[in-house]
Chain A
């Protein structure tokens, strides 16, 4: 296996898919000449030319609409948002057109399109540029939501997303791009959507999470381990479709659950997961499920406050102790 960064893994996935399928193209702000704001598309313009790697004007609604049209016409666009915070400008095209086209055209227009870019907070980018945007997309029927945490998952899931015939919101993280990890050396390494991954195996408590927070959960699990508390860390990898079987398996094993997410608690992803667990595994719960989330406030700019507002490994440890009553 090759060790590479999350950024390089995404680059490999894009290269392989553009090479593999002549219908695939990448469009976004500065993806071509500048190699992308986070250098995810490095070298692709040179390799594939400006028909396959296209710089757009600074107009999210415009180029997203263009790509929705391209998808209707039979192409497989990959739209890069510089961050999902900017994608609010384009959300009408995503929710009202992309996610509903297949349904409203009675299946005449499949909608293979990927919207990708970083989501969530980095460091001191303040309230408007630090938002975790998963739930805006997972809320809408017709949109798949993918949140890879590791380089291998980033590669395998991006390839699966590009090959999928439905709209996919593919959510990365600024703080993830430099994360290094092993990636299988296989130009057909595809991870199916809707399959969760047990990132750490334990028996006392289940930490269920997705995206960037997988790393926080693993830190928490290692702290808990020092006190002889062993935690399952279940990475959902995709929020829609959801791997409910994997969730039920870990709930039935440990009977105690903490849901960890980067976004706000109110109507968050965790709220949905908790609802589904109590519906399907009520008799397996030994304690109420707790959630660890961002504080229910706009992200503060001040560094000290930002640290307090974000979920941390210590807060996860505390929540795990609470559901364990110790």
Chain B
């Protein structure tokens, strides 16, 4: 049985992929799950795994070429199996790199140019190619995914699921059209297969992931008016000037303590810790705008913008509020390193609730950053600059740093953003406040 090798959606937003290199050659034996190729997505370089076994009989896309998600880029089949029915140029948008012209068609028989392959069967699951076997992905995939997100369930089944703590999206329905009914919820409860999703402990460390606050009429009016002015994310900017002397001192003493472990933390690591702590005190800034409600996150998942070749990516420090500075430092270093190698997995660069962009090391004094929707805030951090300031009526030189916050005005009002920055400033100017 021949298996077509498709260009798979290896990131949530991927539309096409570029073939970096084949790790198997035509004629190689292939086992299910073997890594066939490296594919560059819009976010990272990912591995494409075999979804069948046999021999890699044909390759249609050469290194450097791109193909639309869903198009066929190779064929795995038995050594002697007749694949003339599917061999040929790949459908969709596959284009060969100019430096690597396509090979002659298989078995010497020229394929008519007009022959196109059947409509691509796009893989249903955009699971990362290197993650657990496909069966695991299928088992944890919400049933509702097949219905475009809507769960068909009887009113009674919905109520029971809520009462029993069963995630109805994961209950297979036995009613007409897959409707989930009472008996399905009861069976799911009994078998335990549809317990609410167990998120990893590092992801949800303290109860509810978020809280949805219905939008008031005033908030709706604010949102509506501002979007017509600057849309679709009506942004305003707040800048605060922070004295960093105490953070510099704190860094010295922390690094002295960490010396025996061979570790060092940066000013930015302390800053991230302070931001996470300040956001916990200002959940209205750790929030998202949705139609009809504002979603406030209880956990702080901090996106850290990392410049990489050809662009940038924001790996996420999950539950940053619950982590120590040393752990944050280690994670940032590790994630940023892999980000530069384009080796991040999708769940490592999605799910942030707030983002920080720091251009201080590039000599930038002050700048504004663009919000990464659906988040409603981002901090643009400049470098520490020795600056003459007036303290107690005297001009003195102090290490100062400017932070500019971009705020989605639908979620955050000026005074709210200012109060958050005030808290952050207080923590940086007196780092023991982070412990409060």
A residues bordering B, Cβ < 8 Å? 255, 282-287, 325
Contacts and interface: CB of A to CB of B under 8 A. Distances in A.
Interface of B: 154-159, 174-176, 181-182
B176 A286 contact: no
A10 to B, nearest CB: 42
A325 B154 contact: no
Tell me the dominant secondary structure on chain B's binding face.
helix
Given A255-B154, A287-B181, 7 more contacts: A283-B155, A283-B158, A286-B156, A286-B157, A287-B154, A287-B175, A325-B174
A290 to B, nearest CB: 12
B175 A325 contact: yes
A282 B176 contact: no
Nearest to B174: A325
A282 B158 CA distance: 11
A113 B181 CA distance: 48
Contacts of A283: 155-156, 158-159
B159 A286 contact: no
A284 B175 CA distance: 16
A286 B157 CA distance: 7
Contacts of B174: 325
A98 B350 CA distance: 72
B176 A255 contact: no
A89 to B, nearest CB: 45
A284 B155 contact: yes
Contacts of B181: 286-287, 325
B186 to A, nearest CB: 11
Contacts of A282: 155
Contacts of A325: 174-176, 181
B118 to A, nearest CB: 35
B156 A285 contact: yes
Contacts of B159: 283-284
B171 to A, nearest CB: 13
A325 B183 CA distance: 11
B175 A255 contact: no
A326 B175 CA distance: 9
A176 B158 CA distance: 43
Q: Which 10 pairs across A and B sit closest by C-beta, in order of nearness? A: A286-B156, A283-B159, A286-B154, A286-B182, A282-B155, A286-B181, A283-B155, A285-B155, A325-B175, A255-B156
A286 B156 CA distance: 5
Contacts of A286: 154-157, 181-182
7 contacts: A255-B156, A283-B156, A284-B155, A284-B159, A287-B154, A287-B175, A325-B174
Chain A CB within 10 Å — which of B159, B175, B176, B181 has the most? B181
Nearest to B173: A325
A300 B128 CA distance: 66
Nearest to A282: B155
Nearest to A252: B156
A186 B178 CA distance: 55
Contacts of A287: 154, 175, 181
A287 B153 CA distance: 9
Contacts of A255: 154, 156, 182
Contacts of B175: 287, 325
A289 to B, nearest CB: 11
A169 B395 CA distance: 99
A64 B379 CA distance: 85
A110 to B, nearest CB: 43
Q: Which of B156, B157, B175, B181 lies at the interface centre, i.e. has the most chain A CB atoms within 10 A of its CB?
A: B156
Contacts of B155: 282-286
Contacts of B156: 255, 283-286
A287 B175 CA distance: 9
Contacts of B157: 286
B182 to A, nearest CB: 5
A287 B155 CA distance: 8
Contacts of B158: 283
Nearest to A322: B176
A283 B174 CA distance: 19
Nearest to A284: B156
Given A255-B182, A325-B181, A285 B176 contact: no
A152 to B, nearest CB: 35
Nearest to B182: A286
A319 to B, nearest CB: 14
Nearest to B181: A286
A320 to B, nearest CB: 15
A255 B159 CA distance: 12
Contacts of A285: 154-156
A325 B154 CA distance: 12
User: Could you say which of B154, B159, B174 has the most chain A C-beta atoms within 10 Å of its C-beta?
Assistant: B154
A75 to B, nearest CB: 51
B131 to A, nearest CB: 36
A283 B158 CA distance: 8
A283 B162 CA distance: 11
A282 B155 CA distance: 6
A283 B161 CA distance: 11
Contacts of A284: 155-156, 159
A321 to B, nearest CB: 12
A239 B350 CA distance: 59
A283 B185 CA distance: 14
A167 B129 CA distance: 76
Nearest to A251: B156
A287 B177 CA distance: 12
A255 B156 CA distance: 8
A291 B275 CA distance: 61
A109 to B, nearest CB: 46
A206 to B, nearest CB: 13
A154 B432 CA distance: 86
B269 to A, nearest CB: 50
A255 B174 CA distance: 16
A171 to B, nearest CB: 34
